[in-house]
Amino acid sequence: MNHLKKRKRKKTNSSLRRTLLLIDGSNLAHRAYQKFKNLKAPNGKPTGLIYGFMRLLQSYVVRFGTSYVIVTFDTRESKESNFRVELLKDYKKHRKENKINMDYDDFNRQLRLVKRMLKLLNVPVIWDGVGLGHEADDYIGYLTLTYPGKVIIVSSDKDFCQLLDKRVKIYNPFKDSMIHYQTCSDYMDYTADECVDYLCLLGDKSDDIPGYKGMGPVKIRQFLDEFKSIENFLSNKKNTFKGIDYDGLELLYERNRELIDIKVALSRYPIKKLPLLKQKRKSIYVDKLREIFKKQQLMSFLTDEYMEPFKKLKAWEKGLLKSNLLDVVE
């Protein structure tokens, strides 16, 4: 019996190591920047984003014990047409306006250093530096849908709840909570299956996506309890719900679904190239990393204890993904 128990435990550990840990790098960077904004090097330059990001990243690698980790960052503003802006001209407009309330020169300076450190740590990074038209959310969705094993997404972004299933979990670092497919409604106002419809009706203020006028959380809950989904409601023109115009909802749903539903976005606007920053070698650059940490006066990162978890990570290979995304999303 003891022998069988040992074998079972070994299998579980092996499965955990094959789990893909997807870090929403932009989400984590903003959190680190705000949480440690008063941290500065002796020369007066802020280092809070660097410290917070690298400390939290290492803690996730240790905590989840996976062999595969990828960090994604928001893309540079597209020189080509971003399909979401074509669908909604005011998409994320307020974010551009609110940049004046934040020192983006300093933020980007620290973020460039973080990306360099990740490269030296041999942590795969996805960042579209030329503007291919997709966002970090799309790349996280793409990787989640095409990776054949289990996935843990580290982000507080509510949009990712639509990706939850029996092999996908979300760790919310703001609330220190792990969200499973079955427990989504314990943390959100909707189940994983209701996520897209709920957000289509409510809209998303953070992305400047308008919802259906007059539909707040209470009325949306009533609507979904009665009809289960927007498609069910639209399947019969005789269906009625107080405050909803059939044709108006049909138009809003068509637009908002392309903006919010990651699977729909990927099927209609396929990712042709995965902007994965190249890894030069399998081992990490310990000496170069220590030089940077010393220069930034981040002395707690100079230890072998900090570096060791990154040495255990495996190099990313293209063959790890399923070959055809359409097999997954259609």
Residues 37-74 pLDDT 10s: 899 988 888 999 999 999 999 999 999 999 999 999 98
Q: Is residue 4 part of a domain?
A: no
Look at residue 98 and tell me whether its pLDDT is greater than 90.
no
Does residue 301 sit within a domain?
Answer: yes
Bridge partners of residue 126, in order along the sequence: 72, 276
* CA pseudo-torsion sign 129, 131, 135, 138: negative
What DSSP element (H or E) covers 152?
A: strand 151-154
At 5, list the tokens.
Answer: 């128990």
* pLDDT confidence band for 326 (50 / 70 / 90): very low
pLDDT, averaged across the chain: 87
Cα–chain center distance at 189: 20
Per residue in 267-277, pLDDT (tens digit) is 998 888 888 87
Task: Look at residue 299 and tell me if it is in a domain.
Answer: yes
Residue 199: inside a domain, yes or no? no
What pLDDT, in 10s, does the model give residues 237-256?
Answer: 999 999 999 999 999 999 99
Residue 290 falls inside a structural domain: yes
Give the Cα separation of 50 and 300 in Å (integer): 12
pTM score above 0.85:
yes
Selected residue with higher pLDDT from 329 and 149: 149
pLDDT at site 314: 87
Using an 8 Å Cβ cutoff, are 80 and 133 in contact?
yes
The answer as to whether 249 is a domain residue is no
User: Could you list the residue range(s) of the whole structural domain that residue 79 is in?
Assistant: 13-188+266-317
**What domain count does the chain have?**
1
Which amino acid would we find at residue 241? F
Torsional sign, CA 7, 9, 10, 11 = positive
Print the SS3 string covering 185-226: HHHCCCCCCCHHHHHHHHEEHHHCEECCCCCCHHHHHHHHHH
Position 215 in a domain? no
Q: Is residue 6 part of a domain?
A: no
Q: Report the CATH number at residue 275.
A: 3.40.50.1010
